[in-house]
Amino acid sequence: MIRVVLPTDFSENAFHAISHAVKLLENSTCIFYLVHAYTPPVYRVDYTLGSPGQLGLPDDERYRAEEALEKTRKRIKEQFHVSKHTFVIHAAFNSLVDEIDSIAQKENVDFIVMGTQGATGAKEILFGSNTVHVIQKTGIPVLAVPSEFEYRPPENILFPTDYEVDYNKANLDFLLKFSKLEHSKLHIMHVTSPEGLDSDQMGHKTFLEGKLLEHNHEFHDLPDQDLIEAINQFQKETPVELLAMVKNKHTFLERLFVEPIIKNIGLHSKVPFLVLPFNQ
């Protein structure tokens, strides 16, 4: 049983990500949690005093959210006929990140699938603020799906690495199970620096090689160059359907979310991006 959180703001981009998840896991038994977290435009006094239900006051925001979630569930079932999939709707007065964390702990969620843009669809922000917050703060894998990506089975998964990550502490098992589930080939891409690998990096690479022994994979050592250029060039030669990276405070991925460079990276609008957590 695979458990997946599908956050939605009821935009078409969100439904596109939901559709992607359903297609991706069509042969797996799954529970999908359709989640909408809301904050009323004005904090009414009944919210500060306690639950509106306890006070006998109608919680209009919750009713609207649950009604919209039910419409989304109906739309999914009409569009996709997958008997192995169960959809649970969940609306909550909370921040999206906190609500996802709560559900993840209670339901032992495997991963989150969400769109890269919110309801505003601001093209200049390649990751919507909710997506960035969830990736930064959650401790489970997040799959961010661009609205322009037309679903294709992930035959090839690109995994760029600088070998600075201790893979013992990264959620690599999820990626490996995922690749086996989808019969994907893992492409491990490293951009070689002039200094070569230090002893720690060599150890991490050796550990990774051991983990991949029973998996379809290939290592690629590329000459020294900008990582974004290397990823884009690799995709021209080997089309990939998924990009996967580990979130580590010392790696390129973490810098993506703290530097303005994120607004200039066209790469992330092309293929789904799987972010794996790192346990400190």
Looking at the fold, whether 46 and 161 belong to one and the same domain comes out as no
Last-in-domain residue among 145, 168, 192: 145
Q: Are residues 101 and 16 in the same domain?
A: yes
Question: Do 132 and 169 belong to one domain?
Answer: no
- CA–CA dist 42, 57 (Å, integer): 16
Q: Is the pLDDT of residue 198 over 50?
A: yes
Instruction: Specify the pLDDT at position 56.
Output: 42
User: Which has more confidence, 168 or 153?
Assistant: 153
DSSP conformation class of 117: S
Q: Are residues 58 and 124 in the same domain?
A: yes
Same domain, 162 and 186: yes
On whether residue 151 sits in a domain, the answer given is no
Banded model confidence at residue 249, pLDDT cuts 50, 70, 90 = low
The pLDDT confidence band at residue 38, using thresholds 50, 70 and 90, is: confident
pLDDT band at 229 (very low <50, low <70, confident <90, very high): confident
Say whether both 72 and 204 belong to one domain: no
- Asked, for residue 247, whether it belongs to a domain, the answer is yes
Same domain, 120 and 191: no
Same domain, 177 and 130: no
Give the model's pLDDT for residue 176: 92
SS3 20: helix
In tens, the pLDDT along 230-248 reads 888 888 889 999 989 887 6
Q: With contact defined as beta carbons under 8 Å apart, do 244 and 213 qualify?
A: no
Domains of the chain: total = 2
5 three-state secondary structure? strand
Work out the burial of residue 250: count CB atoms within 10 Å of its CB; fewer than 13 is exposed, 13-18 middle, 19 or more buried.
Answer: exposed
Is 88 a member of any domain? yes
Other beta carbons within 10 Å of 97:
17
Q: What average pLDDT does the structure give for the chain? A: 82
78 assigned to some structural domain: yes
In this structure, the dihedral spanned by the alpha carbons of residues 148, 151, 152 and 154, taken in order and rounded to 10 degrees, is: 90
Query: Is residue 11 situated within a structural domain?
Result: yes
* Listed residue (47, 101, 93) closest to 66, CA to CA: 93
User: Alpha helices, DSSP H only, in 108-189?
Assistant: 129-137, 172-181
Residue 280 lies in a domain: no
- How confident is residue 270, by pLDDT bands cut at 50, 70 and 90? confident
For 178-231, give the DSSP string. Answer: HHHHTTPEEEEEEE--TT---HHHHHHHHHHHHHTTTS-EEEEEE-S--HHHHH
Q: Among 145, 167, 187, identify where a domain stops.
A: 145
**Do 223 and 130 sit in the same domain of this protein?**
no
Q: Is the pLDDT of residue 254 over 90?
A: no
pLDDT confidence band for 130 (50 / 70 / 90)? confident
pLDDT at 138 > cutoff 90 = no
Do 229 and 263 fall within a single domain? yes
Question: Tokens representing 38?
Answer: 């809301």
The stretch 87-112 carries a mean pLDDT of 92
Look up tokens 């006070």; give the residue.
55
SS3 15: helix
**Is the pLDDT reported for residue 86 higher than 90?**
yes
Q: In sequence order, what are the residues at sequence separation of 6 or more whose Cβ sits closer than 8 angstroms to the Cβ of residue 180? A: 215
Question: Both 130 and 164 in a single domain?
Answer: no
Does residue 56 form part of some domain?
yes
Q: How far is CA 150 from CA 160, 215, 275, in A?
A: 23, 26, 20
Please give the residue that has the higher pLDDT: either 195 or 69: 69
Same-domain pairing of 27 and 91: yes
Domain carrying residue 59: 2-145
Phi, psi of 26 (to 5 degrees): -65, -25
Give the pLDDT of residue 61: 81
- Determine contact, residues 212/244, Cβ cutoff 8 Å: no
SS3 168: coil
Residue 257 included in any domain: yes
Per-residue pLDDT reduced to its tens digit, 18-27: 999 999 999 9
Q: Look at residue 216 and tell me whether its pLDDT is greater than 80.
A: yes
Beta-carbon contacts of 197 under 8 Å, excluding residues fewer than 6 positions away, are 163, 205
pTM of the predicted protein model: 0.85
Query: For residue 159, which amino acid is it?
Result: F
Beta strand pairing call for 85-93 and 217-222: unpaired
Averaged pLDDT for residues 38-67 = 62
For residues 129 and 264, give the distance between their C-alpha atoms in angstroms, rounded to a whole number.
Answer: 16
**What is the per-residue pLDDT for 132?**
75
Q: Can you give the CATH number for the domain in which 245 is found?
A: 3.40.50.620
100, 123, 145 — which closes off a domain? 145
